[in-house]
Amino acid sequence: MKSPDLQRDRHALYEVAVQGVEWDLDFLARCFRNRNGREARTFREDFCSTAALAVAWAQRHPDNLAWAVDLDPEPLAWARRRRLPWARDTKGRVTLVRSDVRKPQKPLVDVACALNFSWWVFHERADLLAYLKAARASLKPGGVLVLNMFGGIRAEKRVIERTRKGAGNAPDGEPTPAFTYIWEHAKLNALDRRLLAYIHFEMRDGSTMKRAFVYDWRMWTIPELRELVAEAGFSDFEVYSEGYDKEHRTHTGTLHKRAHLDHEDSWIAYCAAYK
């Protein structure tokens, strides 16, 4: 049986289950610093949902400014209610924007991102190209856009993965209970690479949230993205994935630039496009 209280907190559970905010921001800052020899100060989080990255970016330095863009008013309202009032050190330096990311945004920023595979909502080439062109137009000279994606033979099969998560706290300090995070690939159509996937949550008290999040995505490939990035006018494109320690059978926590990526199992890649 679903709990109405837990249903209202699905975004808090998602953040615990999925997001690695500081790890992502470290990489975004590194991309810009390596290319420009200075620190980025302005940031835009496209498909921002609850704006976790944008607020954390502003909290990193008193000169940092952030904009969080999403078309869905529901997670933006959640961020206004449950995140911004408790991030007082960022007052006036984080702006939530309800907008279509295919429209150029202002002001221009040093770094922009579309993470957690959010840009896969675009099924048609024309829509993804429109987004990439708008994202480039919204960057300062020398700016970088980072997108992530996943693939591999295992990722293209029906998958149900279960991960236990401990109790924690939402951005407003409210406790989040221990739960099991379930990631499900329901089906993939090889003709158009349309993927239907779900996130479910199982609580320790036996209650569940089936299909707390539903994803209707196109599984784009790296060559397709590389071609579209070039067509959108970006000057350079790099692919990174996390290192793996074969001896200890664990990931290293560090992203490395790749000229080759093994497709046998599954992978997550971070793709950096430079203006």
Two tokens, residue 174: 């409210």
Reported pTM = 0.94
pLDDT confidence band for 1 (50 / 70 / 90)? very low
Q: What pLDDT is stored for residue 206 in this prediction?
A: 87
What domains are defined for the chain?
10-149+219-274 (3.40.50.150), 153-217 (no CATH)
Tell me if 136 sits within 8 A of 145, measured CB to CB: yes
Site of tokens 């997001």? 19
| Coil, helix or strand at residue 191 | coil
Q: Looking at residue 2, what is its pLDDT?
A: 40
More confident residue, 20 or 5: 20
Q: Determine which helix (DSSP H) or strand (DSSP E) holds 80, and give its type and residue range.
A: helix 73-82
Q: State how far the Cα of 119 lies from the Cα of 145, in Å rounded to an integer.
A: 12
| pLDDT band with cut points at 50, 70 and 90 for residue 8 | low
β-pairing, 109-114 vs 139-151, is: parallel
Element (H, E) at 224: helix 222-231
Position 248 scores a pLDDT of: 65
> Residue 171 has which token pair?
């951005």
Q: Is the pLDDT confidence value at 244 over 80?
A: no
Q: What is the pLDDT of residues 133-169, one digit of tens each?
A: 999 999 999 999 999 999 999 999 999 999 999 998 8
Q: pLDDT, tens digit, for every residue of 38-73?
A: 999 999 999 999 999 999 999 999 999 999 999 999
Confidence of residue 4 (pLDDT cuts 50, 70, 90): very low
On the question of pLDDT at 7 being above 70, the answer is no
Q: So what's the pLDDT on residue 181?
A: 97
Name 195's bridge partners: 188, 217
DSSP secondary structure letter of residue 101: T
Q: At what angle do helices 52-60 and 21-36 cross, to 10 degrees?
A: 60
Non-local (6+) Cβ contacts of 69 within 8 A are: 44, 45, 46, 47, 48, 97, 98, 99, 101, 105
Longest dimension (CA), the chain: 54
Mean pLDDT within 174-194: 95
CA distance 272 to 110: 13
The CA distance from 83 to 88, in Å, is 10
- CA-to-CA distance for 147 and 37, rounded, in angstroms? 22
150: tokens are: 């996943």
Dihedral in degrees, nearest 10, Cα atoms 224, 228, 231, 232? -170
Per residue in 252-265, pLDDT (tens digit) is 889 999 999 998 88
